[in-house]
Amino acid sequence: MYWRRTLIALATIAGKETHRYLRIWIQTLVPPAITMALYFVIFGNLIGPRIGPMEGYSYIDFIVPGIIMMAVITNAYTNVVSSFFGAKFQRHIEEIMVSPTPNAVILLGYVAGGVGRGLLIGLIVTIVSLLFTRLQIHSIPVTISVVFLTSVLFSLGGFINGVFARKFDDISIVPTFILTPLTYLGGVFYSVSMLPDFWRGVSLLNPILYMVDAFRYGILGTSDINIWLAYVLILGFIALLGGFSLWLLERGIGLRG
Amino acid sequence: MKALTLRNLSKTYKGGVTALRQVNLDVEQGDFFGLLGPNGAGKSTIIGIVSSLVTRSGGDVRVMGYDLDTQPWEAKGLLGLVPQEFNFNHFETVEQVVLNQAGYYGMPRRQARERLERFLRELSLWEKRRAVSRTLSGGMKRRLMIARALIHGPRLLILDEPTAGVDIEVRRSMWQFLRKINQDDGVTIILTTHYLEEAESLCRNIAIIDEGRIIENTDTQSLLDRLSAQAFILDTAAPMTAAPALEGFRVEQLSAKQLEVEVRKEQTLSALFAALQRVGIEVTSMKNKSNRLEELFIRLVEQNDGIDPGP
Ligand SMILES: Nc1ncnc2c1ncn2[C@@H]1O[C@H](COP(=O)(O)OP(=O)(O)OP(=O)(O)O)[C@@H](O)[C@H]1O
Ligand SMILES: [Mg+2]
């Protein structure tokens, strides 16, 4: 009985979250498709041939995995942060807070929304990339598991951001000043092995690099780092951010006056 | 077992406003209970704490005997809330708002749809079920929140100023609906209001809260009697040894030459003076005694006048 009801509550929140980003698809699904198509045209088709091969692959083939990953990361994050902040702002988060829905279910429901949007965008960008190059997948399990876990991780990040956000500006600070730079510097457009030792060392402190690289391994079969390390890192961060999110919900931080 | 028990509830908000000071309150099952008080008295704070939207600084809450801290699943499941401010998703339709709420309580869709139809029809919202909630009128939004609060079958329904900004006709139909829920379904109802008429017409028992303290808690009739009675202080010409017996009036001796007399609504001052004359007491001066309850109601009524002239 308890489990059945809990599952219904989870399905309700996840369904509502999915419905939300689908309803506003012009704002949520179309922009990344266009932006990423531009990356493929400019870096892939126009400039790419002059850059020449990267780690043995044509430049466009090299950047496709990174660009897909970049779209997944930003969209998973943005979905949860805007939805959760919106629910606080319009106060309809109170609908859930008065109900017996356990905190873990609230968190899972929101994360499901972020993961859903992240993966859907990942799929869209992948399809767009097929207009520019032929994609072969080296390892389906690695590709799927890395993109899935990464979207879970960034959905959790967006959730935490949403808990602390007090005004609309607060939801774009992290994506603009942290996520985007770390993603660009995470080897989306170049191989870190090209960098001088010092900058290479610095790059290795960037967790996003491991995710991009592991995903690229899944698709191309080539990697600058040990992909098991990437899994450990991603799972570790998921445990950390997930635990922190639950603690925030338990304490009612940013929610209960 | 009570529908609601509050013990030593206290709340100090961040920033230092103390909204509640040791509030104790019991509401019987099946009661229709009014919580009255001027703006800022602490009504919404109490309701916020009971419905888990506000953290408390101290005290205990029990809903239908279940402790909110140790048995939150049961306590929350038995409670329905209609908050003071609109708090649904303005982009969802009426139907989505109510069905999602049922979902949060774990109610299967089919059952939720049946109940949805019943409540939307009874609250005259059925035609609007596909309307985006943002496009509803103020009165419809209030009724939407009532339907949403009832969808999971709560045993205790708390409404925070449910008829604020609602016209008289709709207000009366809401009263009728609430009476029916209370009588036919046996749902205990607690509501806050600024309209005395509303409390008088709906509530069997009333508590009055001011500055975070419950200052009155009684049945509606005795409250009204006490409100309509006036107390006078009389100075007498000659000293008295004991309070005189004045037929039909409650008399208290304050000092040798001073009396306090209560005059109820149906009594007249002429009758008071006739009674005084019969016992041979001469009055030299007389003043109206102000009472706290009355002052409070004057404040309540003034606020209410500011919002709506009433019927
Ligand atoms: N979130 C908050 N932060 C700080 N102070 C608050 C908060 N909410 C309420 N207060 C203060 O607590 C006191 C009680 O407010 P509350 O909303 O409980 O009153 P109320 O009786 O519901 O009034 P009204 O009739 O105007 O709705 C007021 O002084 C109010 O300013
Ligand atoms: Mg209030």
Region B189-214: mean pLDDT is 92
Closest residue to atom 12 of ligand 1, CA basis = B19
Q: What is the mean pLDDT of chain A?
A: 94
Minimal CA separation from A11 to chain B, in Å: 8
Confidence of residue B55 (pLDDT cuts 50, 70, 90): very high
Task: Note the pTM of the prediction, 2 decimals.
Answer: 0.89
Q: Are A119 and A147 in contact (CB under 8 A)?
A: yes
**CB of B53 sitting under 6 A from ligand 1:** no
Burial of B39: CB neighbours in 10 Å, binned 0-12, 13-18, 19+: exposed
Residue B290 has pLDDT above 80, yes or no: no
* Pick among A92, A96, A101, A251 to test the B interface (most B CBs inside 10 A): A92
pLDDT score of A145: 98
Residue B227 has pLDDT above 80, yes or no: no
* CATH class entry, domain B227-293: alpha beta
Rounded to the nearest 10°, the torsion over CA A73, A77, A82, A88 is: 170
d(CA B139, CA B131): 14
Backbone torsions φ then ψ of B158, nearest 5 degrees: -115, 125
The closest ligand to the CA of B194 turns out to be 1
**Most confident among A35-44, A129-138, B92-101 (mean pLDDT):** B92-101
* Pick among B81, B89, B104 to test the A interface (most A CBs inside 10 A): B104
| Digit-coded pLDDT (tens) for B247-271 | 888 898 999 999 999 888 788 899 9
Residue whose CB lies within 8 A of the most ligand 1 atoms, among B6, B11, B14, B17, for a mutation test: B17
**Could you tell me the distance, in angstroms and rounded to a whole number, from the CA of residue B72 to the centre of ligand 2?**
24
**Could you tell me the distance, in angstroms and rounded to a whole number, from the CA of residue B37 to the centre of ligand 2?**
9
pLDDT score of B299: 65
Helix (H) or strand (E) holding B259: strand B258-263
Select from A117, A118, A124 the least CA-distant residue to A36.
A124
**Could you tell me the distance, in angstroms and rounded to a whole number, from the CA of residue B154 to the centre of ligand 2?**
22
The CATH topology of domain B2-224 is Rossmann fold (3.40.50)
pLDDT score of B302: 63
Residues 6+ apart with CB under 8 A from B129: B93, B94, B95, B116, B120
Each domain of chain B, given as residue ranges in start order, spans: 2-224, 227-293
pLDDT score of B296: 67
CA B1 to chain centre: 21
Task: Tell me the residue ranges of DSSP E strands in B13-165.
Answer: 18-28, 32-36, 58-63, 66-67, 79-82, 156-160
| Digit-coded pLDDT (tens) for B16-26 | 999 999 999 99
Region A150-158: mean pLDDT is 98
**CB of A257 sitting under 6 A from ligand 1:** yes
User: What residues pack around ion ligand 2 (CB closer than 5 A)?
Assistant: B 43-44, 84
d(CA A130, CA A137): 12
Q: Are A66 and A224 in contact (CB under 8 A)?
A: no
pLDDT score of B309: 39
Which residue from A minimizes the CA distance to B106? A5
pLDDT score of A2: 85
Minimal CA separation from A99 to chain B, in Å: 6
pLDDT score of B307: 44
pLDDT score of A225: 87
d(CA A163, CA A66): 29
| Digit-coded pLDDT (tens) for A241-254 | 999 999 999 999 99
Chain B interface includes A226 (CB < 8 A): no
The closest ligand to the CA of B11 turns out to be 1
| Digit-coded pLDDT (tens) for B63-119 | 999 999 999 999 999 999 999 999 999 999 999 999 999 999 999 999 999 999 999
**CB of B115 sitting under 6 A from ligand 1:** no
Q: What is the DSSP letter of A38?
A: H
Question: Which residue is it, tokens 């609908």?
Answer: A95
On chain B, the residues whose CB falls within 8 A of the CB of A87 are: 89
**Could you tell me the distance, in angstroms and rounded to a whole number, from the CA of residue B51 to the centre of ligand 1?**
15
On chain A, the residues whose CB falls within 8 A of the CB of B88 are: 90, 92, 95
Chain B interface includes A166 (CB < 8 A): no
d(CA B270, CA A215): 96
Residue B295 has pLDDT above 70, yes or no: no
| Digit-coded pLDDT (tens) for A200-243 | 888 889 999 999 999 999 999 988 889 999 999 999 999 999 99
